[in-house]
Amino acid sequence: MLNKEFKKKFDAESNNVKKIEIKGDFLFFMKKMDSIENNALIGALLKVRNQEDLQTIKNPRLTSSKKFQDAEKIADYPGGLNSLRQEVANLLYIDGVYSEEKMVKTDVAFIVEKDGTVSNVHAQGDNFTFNRQAEIALYSLAEKFSPAMIKGDPITYCFKLPLTLSMTD
């Protein structure tokens, strides 16, 4: 709807200078909308993280750091690891990453639950904003994983995904 209204105003304007101003206003407005959406996603991330932390306090068994080396089949994202990386890259809100470095890295650890959903996402890297954006991207995945299996039964599985972002001017 917003696109239509801006386009209508843009098409109705005959002055090229005014058209450039309208286009600039549109781009500025959309960037602000992205920023507002990103703030909402960060709020949602904090809520999810708090709920997961509370769940861990209520059920201490969830904190056990089991390694699932015995898994006969590890958790897998539809299309494989490259598909997962591409999906995360598409979901990253790059304008929300602030860095003076040209390259930022993080390792995102998370749990793939028995039903294939993602939980307990924690990114560790030198750049706080990149860590938060990576966590939001992992929680935002559209597809579920196929769960890890032992003897045909689904199990929770610890997954680690290293990510690198090259910043360009």
Q: What's the pLDDT tens digit per position in 92-132?
A: 888 888 888 899 999 999 999 999 999 888 999 999 889 98
The DSSP-derived string for the chain is: -HHHHHHHHHHH---HHHHHHHHHHHHHHHHHHHHHHHHHHHHHHHHHHHHHHHHHHH-GGGG-----TT-SB--B-TT-HHHHHHHHHHH--GGG---SSSEEEEEEEEEE-TTS-EEEEEEEES-HHHHHHHHHHHHT-SSPPBPEEETTEEE-EEEEEEEEEE---
Whole-number pLDDT of residue 108: 93
pLDDT confidence band for 16 (50 / 70 / 90): confident
* Rounded-to-integer distance, Cα 147 and Cα 28, Å: 42
Query: How much is the pLDDT for 112?
Result: 92
The pLDDT value recorded for residue 145 is 95
Given a cut of 60, whether residue 74 has pLDDT beyond it is yes
Tens digit of each residue's pLDDT (9 = 90 or more) over 126-156: 998 899 889 989 988 989 999 999 888 999 8
Compute the mean pLDDT over every residue in the chain, rounded to the nearest whole number: 80
Pick 53 or 65 by higher pLDDT: 53
